[in-house]
């Protein structure tokens, strides 16, 4: 029962996210994409709410947290078009095949990430029981390996679901993974369709589901931060690539980028690269600054919180020495992991359409972000004395970010 309630708590987040349907750009996309974007928005909203309550010393209860969530959902639902669009059923069915395999993978404990057991789950559970972001728990020196300053989005989302279920659910946490996979494929399809055509959007959405679904399985990300991270990343990149000149897309991207930065440490690098790419593509400094504003405010407040409680660790690691002498082997090992044990098919499938395209300019933003995140991955690895175990353990997960950017780039560039 607690597992079902925990999953219900996660799925409920679609409801407050309906507030994003008030944006005309979102209101125009198909219902599956709207629900997917609402889910991502709901996760961002509940995180922000718990985060603000933490600093305002407002207790986390079903009433204090649930009431504003319901109010936002009711506001978003007013006058909403709930008509089901039956087009794209084949692509939906194919996407659901990969989602179903992921559900099977998590329900039979085939995709569980060790990080769920070691820190994401314990932090979410502790935040729930403490009713706050427990700085004493995070900063306990013997818990160093739980990473003091990892950003709080996933533990806060888990704390919300724990609030609904009255306790943390390890199985429920695993279900975040297939839900995020489904949401990212539908969100991408809906955001891409107006710009590249429905047929192309459907094909590339299936490719996205195939790459990410398989990537989740081989990279073992069940219950870890990669599923929500990639969901927010794909929404941000798709919004800026396919509708970057529209105000609504900029608002959506700003929300998604803020969520990216609060999900994983490397999210900060992703955001920085995306903001630079958007500045290059749009050549609008003020607009770019506005897109980056929520990130600066939220990530800045998190780093300040960590600094005040003496928790800073990962965010200060770039100050350590870089081992350029390891570059060649680091690159080789990373490229080896990038094969995903399937002959680099994900890369070939995304780069081949780009190679035959004559409209690369349209995919400049995701290409810059793909190249930048690939480079930042190597940059992080080169700061370790002995990164080989780290590369083996993480490369297949972190390389999903440039891969999903390449899917967006291919879709945008295709003829």
Partner 1 sequence: MTTRIEKTIIALATLILLIAFVNRLYTRGGPYFQLTQTIVDHVGPNKHETRDALVLLPKIRPLLPRGAQVACFRPINGAQNYDTPNFLTAIGQLPDQKVQPSFFASLDTPPASLVDYVIAVRDPFTHPAYHIVAEFPEGRLYKVAR
Least distance CB 70 / partner 1 (angstroms): 28
Nearer to partner 1, 117 or 276 (CB): 117
Nearer to partner 1, 36 or 113 (CB): 113
Q: Which residue has the tokens 């403490």?
A: 130
Nearer to partner 1, 199 or 245 (CB): 199
Least distance CB 112 / partner 1 (angstroms): 5
Least distance CB 191 / partner 1 (angstroms): 17
Nearer to partner 1, 46 or 181 (CB): 181
Least distance CB 14 / partner 1 (angstroms): 25
Least distance CB 125 / partner 1 (angstroms): 5
Least distance CB 305 / partner 1 (angstroms): 21
Nearer to partner 1, 224 or 277 (CB): 224
Nearer to partner 1, 286 or 356 (CB): 356
Classify each residue of 182-199 as buried b or exposed e, where b means 16 or more C-beta atoms within 10 Å of its C-beta. Answer: bbbbbbbbbbbbebbebe
Residues within the interface to partner 1 (CB under 8 A): 94, 97-98, 101, 104-105, 107-112, 114, 116-119, 121-122, 125-126, 129, 142-143, 145-146, 168, 170-171, 174, 197, 199-200, 203-204, 206-207, 210-211, 213-214, 217-218, 220, 222-223, 340-342, 345-346, 348-349, 352-353, 356, 414-415
CB 267 within 8 A of CB 260: yes
Nearer to partner 1, 214 or 315 (CB): 214
Nearer to partner 1, 155 or 294 (CB): 155
Least distance CB 82 / partner 1 (angstroms): 29
- How far apart CA 59 and CA 57 sit, in angstroms, is 6
Both tokens assigned to 291: 């897109």
Least distance CB 301 / partner 1 (angstroms): 26
Contacts of 377 (CB under 8 A, 6+ apart): 266, 334, 395, 398, 399, 402
């Amino acid at each position: 029962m607690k597992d079902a309630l925990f999953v219900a708590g996660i799925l409920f987040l679609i409801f407050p996210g309906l507030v994003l349907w008030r944006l005309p750009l979102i209101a125009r996309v198909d219902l599956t994409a709207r629900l997917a974007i609402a889910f991502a928005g709901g996760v961002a909203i509940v995180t922000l709410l718990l985060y603000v309550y933490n600093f305002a010393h407002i207790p986390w209860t079903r009433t204090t947290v649930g009431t504003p969530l319901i109010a936002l959902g009711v506001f978003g639902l007013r006058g909403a078009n709930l008509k089901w669009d039956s087009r794209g059923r084949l692509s939906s069915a194919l996407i659901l095949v990969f989602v179903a395999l992921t559900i099977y993978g998590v329900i039979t404990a085939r995709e569980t990430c060790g990080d769920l057991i070691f820190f994401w789950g314990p932090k979410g559970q502790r935040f729930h029981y403490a009713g706050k972001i427990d700085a004493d728990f995070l900063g306990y020196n013997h818990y160093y390996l739980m990473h003091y300053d990892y950003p709080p989005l996933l533990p806060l989302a888990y704390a919300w679901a724990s609030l609904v279920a009255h306790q943390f659910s390890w199985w429920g946490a695993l279900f975040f993974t297939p839900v995020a996979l489904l949401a990212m494929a539908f969100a991408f399809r809906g955001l891409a369709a107006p710009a590249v055509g429905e047929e192309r959007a459907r094909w590339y959405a299936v490719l996205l589901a195939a790459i990410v679904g398989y990537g989740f399985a081989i990279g073992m990300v069940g219950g870890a931060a990669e599923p929500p991270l990639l969901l927010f990343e794909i929404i941000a990149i798709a919004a800026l690539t396919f509708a970057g000149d529209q105000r609504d897309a900029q608002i959506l991207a700003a929300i998604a980028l803020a969520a990216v930065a609060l999900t994983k440490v490397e999210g900060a690098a992703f955001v920085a690269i995306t903001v630079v790419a958007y500045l290059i593509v749009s050549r609008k400094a003020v607009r770019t600054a506005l897109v980056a504003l929520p990130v600066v405010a939220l990530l800045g407040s998190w780093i300040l919180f960590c600094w005040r409680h003496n928790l800073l660790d990962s965010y200060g690691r770039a100050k350590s020495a870089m081992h350029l002498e390891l570059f060649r082997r680091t690159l080789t090992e990373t490229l080896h992991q990038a094969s995903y044990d399937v002959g680099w098919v994900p890369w070939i499938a995304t780069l081949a359409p780009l190679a035959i395209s004559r409209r690369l300019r349209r995919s400049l933003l995701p290409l810059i972000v793909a190249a930048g995140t690939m480079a930042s991955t190597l940059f992080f690895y080169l700061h370790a004395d002995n990164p080989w175990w780290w590369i083996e353990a993480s490369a297949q997960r972190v390389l999903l970010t440039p891969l999903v950017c390449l899917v967006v780039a291919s879709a945008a560039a295709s003829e």
